[in-house]
Structure 1
Amino acid sequence: MKKRALAAVAALCLGVVALIGPTSAAVAAAPEGAPYVAVGDSIAAGTGSLPYVDTSCLRSKRAYPDLLGASPGAPPVTMACAGAGTADVLQQIAMLDAGGALGADTQLVTVTSGANSTGWQNALAVCAGGDSLACQQAIAAIGDVALLKQETHALLTALRAAAPNAVVVITGYPRLFGTSGETCTIGAYGGSPAKVTPQQALIANSIVDAINLAIADGLQLYQFQYAQTHGGTLDAIVPVDVTGAFLGHGLCDAGDRWIAGLSSGKKADGAFHPTAAGQQAYAALIAAALGG
């Protein structure tokens, strides 16, 4: 997955450079950076919401960056890619900066990143198979979520260096299974119904909570250090917590599901990702956080 993410980033960067073209007086007077830039993982790419506009990154035109960009008429320059971990997103930022898409005139940057750095998606897939021992082993193999604090700090530092005047929005992740307290079916796995027990749902949701907390801690660390060097002033970074909006819309909830379940069909790559409705919720939450 990481190879796919990096290869797609490299290809898009070459396209950005090609659009910029050779140095000239006209180019020198052009804006420094696109108005809106999006980076991140499969959530920001809209993975699972067909059709894809980039099959290498499983990037959809129904992803929240495209929904946000449609309103002011400023489509995003996006490198969000399925499978991207924090290191990959740092590479996205570096290549967008080098290609001229990020700069002093960039007004908005959105980022969703962190979950892939823990390996928790593998644990979800294993646990859905129904083998309790394999599930426990996969959960035990999840990486140290606390490391996301430093990784988030590094992401924000890189974004601010590349786009010094932009408003930066950093989002969290939704809980997947809700709080029904009962075993629920979340789709099909290997030709059989895939079920999640209340204990498995609780563990998965607690991991998401830990990821969101680490991201928030990383933002707090960044703001603390920024304030120290800027006379107490905080940076224009907007956190967006999506957990409240997704309550009642998880895989084990009775309401409309905003999370895709397991499937052997064309949307199999979108399992445990926001549906089109979930992507709309992300866009609405970000728009509200930005004052509409």
Structure 2
Amino acid sequence: MRRRTLAILTALAASGLLAAGIAPATAADDPPDGAAYVALGDSIAAGTGNLPYVDTDCMQSRKAYPQLFARAFGIDVASSACSGATTADVLTEQLSHLGSDTQLVTITAGINNLGWTTLLQECAQDESSLACQAATGGAFAALAALPDDIGLMVATVRQHAPNAHIAVTGYPMLFGQVATPCSIGAFERTPVKVTAAQAQFINVAVMQVNGAIAAGLAGYALEYSQMTGIDANVSFVPLTGTFAGHGLCDTGDRWISGFVNGAPVAARSLHPNSAGQRAIAELLVEALG
């Protein structure tokens, strides 16, 4: 089914029904029955932090993986991805490009349900602080609900795009193996160093988010097939293996930016850089091709 999805997109590109390009489509650009390829999600899908932006409100970059993936096939992408988006935001703000002609939807969403930015800011500095403990408590509650949130999000996308393959990515772990305190930039002019315990805490949190996303998608797929008797036409695309060796404090080239001060570049903090976005796009080409 995944090969069929990319075969359709490639055929559309070859026939001229889709124009090559990397700029996100607007609602006015969409055909009445939906764009062929639609990207949804949060700052990872938006490519936040990688200038220049094609949408400054959502910090949506020309170097985001959906744009790079689309370029590989000579097609357009209609991207609604927006920095800070939760799964609820996907449902309320990002479905306008979908329709019966939509053949592929890629989604990166879920981690912001946990209040991820607050969790990182508080716990990267002092995991024993009251602020970190409060953020952690809220994150655990959201994590427990995340499989259901993912299932609802995918089910709703399916209602709006009944013929599409839906590919949901996971998240990369931020850190490699940290043996000694490692500098990852500065936050509010204060240098930030991460200990092995802090790096492990954050990596475990990402692993738990990835597990919840995979579980939610698997649960949806099982229920869909039981109700309809056909395959759910969804896939989970993990990123952890691809990013191995390229995290912060890691042995290879960094594919994730550390803490960065000053607008507009501060938004790149703890996000995949341009090399990381390229790696995600290449993984999707391999996984869906």
Normalised TM-score (structure 1)? 0.85
Q: State the Cα deviation string for residues 255-292 of structure 1 (Å, max 9, x = none).
A: 1111110011342111111010110111011111112x
Alignment match, 2:163: 165
Alignment match, 1:78: 79
Match of 1:128 among 121, 124, 128: 124
C-alpha distance in 2, partners of 1:178/1:170? 24
1:128 Cα offset (Å): 3.4
Alignment match, 1:118: 114
1:180 Cα offset (Å): 2.5
8 A Cα contact 1:169 1:240, kept in partner = yes
8 A Cα contact 1:44 1:63, kept in partner = yes
Match of 1:191 among 189, 202, 205: 189
Gaps of 5+ in 1: 1-11, 21-29
Q: State the Cα deviation string for residues 6-33 of structure 1 (Å, max 9, x = none).
A: xxxxxx99x51x446xxxxxxxxx6621
Q: Which amino acid aligns with 1:284?
A: E
Alignment match, 2:105: 109
8 A Cα contact 2:114 2:138, kept in partner = no
- Verify: 1:138 aligned to 2:139, yes or no: no
C-alpha distance in 2, partners of 1:166/1:121? 31
Q: Which amino acid aligns with 2:238?
A: D
Alignment match, 2:59: 58
Match of 1:259 among 251, 256, 259: 256
Alignment match, 1:204: 202
Cα distance change on mapping 1:105 and 1:262 into 2, 3 Å: same
Matches within 5 A, 1:138-287: 138-142=135-139, 143-231=141-229, 233-265=230-262, 266-287=264-285
How many residue pairs were aligned? 263
SS of 1:174's equivalent in the other structure is coil
SS of 1:180's equivalent in the other structure is coil
Cα distance change on mapping 1:271 and 1:106 into 2, 3 Å: same
1:122 Cα offset (Å): 0.7
Q: Which amino acid aligns with 1:261?
A: G
1:57 Cα offset (Å): 0.4
8 A Cα contact 1:187 1:262, kept in partner = yes
Gaps of 5+ in 2: 1-23
8 A Cα contact 2:105 2:166, kept in partner = yes
Q: Which amino acid aligns with 2:247?
A: G
Q: Which amino acid aligns with 1:239?
A: F
1:110 Cα offset (Å): 0.4
Q: State the Cα deviation string for residues 148-199 of structure 1 (Å, max 9, x = none).
A: 1001101110111111111111000000011233211100123232111111
8 A Cα contact 1:129 1:189, kept in partner = no
C-alpha distance in 1, partners of 2:190/2:178? 22
C-alpha distance in 2, partners of 1:121/1:93? 21
